[in-house]
Structures are given as structure tokens and as C-alpha cells.
Homo-oligomer: A and B are copies of this chain.
């Protein structure tokens, strides 16, 4: 089996290392990256066309939608299987990729794009062979989980923990994708597409940022034996999905509260299997490389996923209500939408009546004018 590597960064190097150590029958033919010195290794190239010459499988590990999308489409249309860890391009073009792969009788696989080393995509696909999946939910971003866990255990501020995560290489210099939820938004969109056999554009997934969380918010709930986690979730009701990424409040007996450091957890609920959960490393060189190679071995063994997104699914915006908790330093929270308001170290913690996400957005916009550090949490059912 001859493969081409696109992206020779952290994960790409891990993939090459594992393959060279363990698999004599897999030949790395080309390694394409704009930053490689092509004089160092005859497999190195900076030319995307050379990359696709004479390979059976492309392993794509770059980060943006383009040029990944174009190169993947070229590969699939040339009869080359594609494996990717690139959630940005998967979230945007999943149906096009699958359709093109099916048309060309090759496979498009993306285990590494959600949950890193956790065999989540594969498990979801397998569960769906038998069950109707009704929901999926997870802590899908290691960076924000690391920050929340560290704030909770070490009583440090968000900014201190973010700086620490950056120092450890968990968080990017620009951490927006992680802490504003764009990363999880894509991951839960991809999971939903498989779970419910239908595409809802990732931008339609409800999204609340984690950025305004204060140590006081964490402490207040910690004293009551509750923990805030940053969660992607999605469930189907009739033909509409409600999917979101948001801070969620869990009782400390909930298993999600024990997922520490930069670990991930993700679970599905099916009609015969019940709740099935997976915990592991959601990022990192070796776990992500492992997921890429698992996909490669499945292709090598001729196992076909037969994915299709035939269901027409809409995002549910109205027919759904949650209780939210709003944290703000402003005291003017005495509105009739609140069931209770408590003050903790200068921070008001208010529980709302059940409301639609749309109504919550309107409330948040209004309150944000009074306090730019307002923070909203969904209460776990």
C-alpha cells in the first residue's frame, strides 16, 4: 500500500514515525509540506500534484478548509482513498466528500477529525448499523477542558490557565477557535451528521463562548458540588436537531465532571445499546496519528463504512427550552425571567425559567450592555 502525507507537522510526523516503526507493507511515497527542505529527504515535496502521483491513499493533516478541500477532491476524483484529521474541511464539505468518494468507489475517512485518539466516528457508524441514535454529547475540546480543570483545582483565573495551556502547547497563540467554541461546533456538527444521517451546516449549531467564565463562577458551583464543563451536544426530535456548544453545569456525580486535564469524553444514546461513552486523549501527536492509521488499516482490510446523508434535517430553534444560569457582576438582574438570584463574591448567579435558545440570546444581548463579562451556562437536564 502506497501513501502520501499532506502536512508534516506534529501529527504528520507522528503518522510517519508509527508507520515506519510498525508497518513494513505500507510505503510512504510522498510527504508534502510547504515548510520542508526538499533536499533532506527524497520523499519531501512542496508540490500538491506530485503528492498524488502513484499513491493509493492520501493522509491529509493540514488545518484550513483550503487548499485541503481542493486537494482532497482531486485525490478522490483520481481514485485515491482519503483520510483526514482536518475538521474545518470535513465540517464544510462532508457531504461533497462522501458523495465524490462513493462515486469513485474509494473511501473518505475522518476518525481523527473528532475526539483525536478516541474511536468515536467508527463507533458511531457501527452503532448506527443497528440502532437509531437519539443523541450525542461530549467534552470535545482538550484545551478548554484543561483550563476549566486547572481553574477548578488550582483556583487560578481563566487568563492564567489559558497562558499555562499555551505554554504547554495545548492552546494556540490565538485561542478563539477553542474558547469561543468554533472547534467544538464543527466536531458536534460532524458527529450529528453521522448520528442522524443528515447535514445541518455547522454555523447553525448554537454556540456560547467560554471566554467570560470567572473563578467565582466555578467556586460558587464547586461549593454546591457542581462543575461547569464545556460541552458539544446534539439530539433529534422528530425531524429536527438541536445542536449546541456551551458551558453546561453538571452535578459532581456525573461522569463528565471526572474527565480531567485535556482529556475528552463523548457519548451516544441508541435504542438498544443505551448510553455508550468513550474517554481518551482528544488531541496530541500520537493519539491523533493513531486514529489516522486506524482509518488506513480499515481501508487496507477492505472495510467500507457506506455513509450517506439522506435525511433532510433542520435545526430546531423554537420547539426546545432549557434552564440557564447567568453570571454577571451587575446587580440589576431582578427580572421576572429569573427564578432565583444569589450573590457570590460580587458575582450574581441567576437561574432562569425554561426558555428557548433564541429568548436566551435576546436576554444575553440586553444584559451584555450592562456587563461585558456576562457568562451563560446551560443547566444539565
Contacts and interface: CB of A to CB of B under 8 A. Distances in A.
B131 A290 contact: yes
Copies in the complex: 2
B126 A119 contact: yes
A22 B274 CA distance: 17
B117 A276 contact: yes
A290 B272 contact: yes
B258 A272 contact: no
Contact of A280 (B131, B273, B280, B303): B273
A259 interface: yes
Nearest to A267: B279
Contacts of A253: 258, 260
A272 B255 contact: no
A77 interface: no
A118 B294 contact: no
Contacts of A274: 117, 280-281, 284, 286-287
Contacts of A363: none
A14 B293 CA distance: 35
A277 B276 contact: no
Contact of A118 (B22, B276, B290, B304): B276
Given A130-B297, A257-B258, A274-B287, 11 more contacts: A117-B276, A119-B123, A126-B297, A131-B290, A255-B279, A272-B286, A276-B280, A278-B278, A278-B279, A301-B303, A303-B303
Interchain residue pairs A-B with the least CB separation, the first 8: A272-B286, A277-B279, A276-B280, A255-B258, A274-B281, A272-B290, A303-B303, A273-B290
